[in-house]
Amino acid sequence: MFYEGTIIRPPSEADSIILQVTVGCSHNRCTFCGAYKGIQFRIKEAHLLEADIAFAARYCTRQKRVFLADGDALILPQRKLISIVKNIRHNLPWVKRISTYGNAKAIRSKSMSELNELKDLGLDRIYMGLESGHDDVLLTIKKGETAQSMVEAAGKVSEIDIFLSVTVLLGIGGVDLSDRHAEATGRVLSLMAPRQIAALTLMPLANTPLYDQIQRGDFKLPDARGILKELIILVQAISLDRVQFYANHASNYLPLSGRLQRDREKIIQSIHLALSGGASLVPERMRAL
Ligand code: SF4
């Protein structure tokens, strides 16, 4: 495969064929994100993509899913995206599921009939980064969206029954907005109604503006206890039923997962146990992105 730069994929796509159809992220301004810093967003060269699909046709016959990378492949013009998806269907006929990252702008750029067209061709999962449901936080981190615009984008995905997975970021409100960030995020997630929620914990990367803010003392990251308290507020604020909730990413201090609301009390009890010293946390040196 002709991969360029760092290839990032959701944990649940670990077994997928990763096809890099774009390089970088069309937004690339989030202050906490160092994934594509310094990389000019572009569509991957057609001949390289052709070669990658040919490679997958030969060597990836046991993998039933394809994940389209990089940061927001859904932003591709519809005609281009349709041609890629048709190419996958034609050359990798055993593939059952196609997934991609899709930010709110990319979702907004597609009409309902365009999303339906993609769904009919096999796109069945979109991963979207909300990060925070608090508008002040979204503004500060330069997400380029508001809580309302994220809710609207999520509504389009849900309306055509494409599986929506939403990621949020514990700690991104800093100490100052910690509680309000957690509460607003739970509330906005409830409005977005994704099928899956992944709560990661902020780990500042040295190549990001947020890291510089921390060094200058302009942003104070909550400590492990602060993050766990944030997690309690977040879980309590989610009013959805039957949503899969994951806080077991390598960045998290306490690996937790379950189905809300069914497992809500169990999750909260586990956090209280850790806060009281009855369960150990992942040591800093073992945490990773
Ligand atoms: S967090 Fe997502 S949208 Fe923001 S810069 Fe990184 S890849 Fe792009």
Q: pTM of the full predicted structure?
A: 0.95
Tokens of 223: 């400590």
The pLDDT value recorded for residue 289 is 83
C-alpha dihedral sign at 234, 238, 241, 246: negative
- Residue 122 CA to ligand 1 center (angstroms) comes to 24
DSSP 143-203: -S--HHHHHHHHHHHHHTT-EEEEEEEETTTTTTTHHHHHHHHHHHHHHH--SEEEEEE--
Site residues for ligand 1, CB cut-off 6 Å: 25, 27-28, 30, 33, 35, 71, 103, 129
Tokens of 286: 């073992």
The pLDDT value recorded for residue 129 is 97
Strand-pairing partners, residue 123, are: 98
- Topology given in CATH for the domain delimited by 13-281: TIM Barrel (3.20.20)
Which pLDDT tens digits describe the chain residue by residue (289 residues)? Answer: 999 988 999 988 999 999 999 999 999 999 999 999 889 999 999 999 999 999 999 999 999 999 999 988 999 999 999 999 999 999 999 999 999 999 999 999 999 999 999 999 999 999 999 999 999 999 999 999 999 999 999 999 999 999 999 999 999 999 999 999 999 999 999 999 999 999 999 999 999 999 999 999 999 999 999 999 999 999 999 999 999 999 999 999 999 999 999 999 999 999 999 999 999 999 999 998 8
Ligand 1: residue of 28, 70, 132, 145 to mutate (most ligand atoms within 8 A of CB) is 28
- Residue 143 CA to ligand 1 center (angstroms) comes to 8
Helices then strands, counting H and E runs in the chain, come out as 10, 10
How many angstroms separate the Cα of 224 from the Cα of each of 69, 245, 271?
Answer: 31, 20, 11
Ligand 1 atom index nearest CA of 8? 7
The pLDDT value recorded for residue 6 is 85
The pLDDT value recorded for residue 85 is 96
Q: Domain ranges in the chain?
A: 13-281
User: Are 194 and 166 spatial neighbours (Cβ–Cβ below 8 Å)?
Assistant: yes
Residue with tokens 């070669």: 51
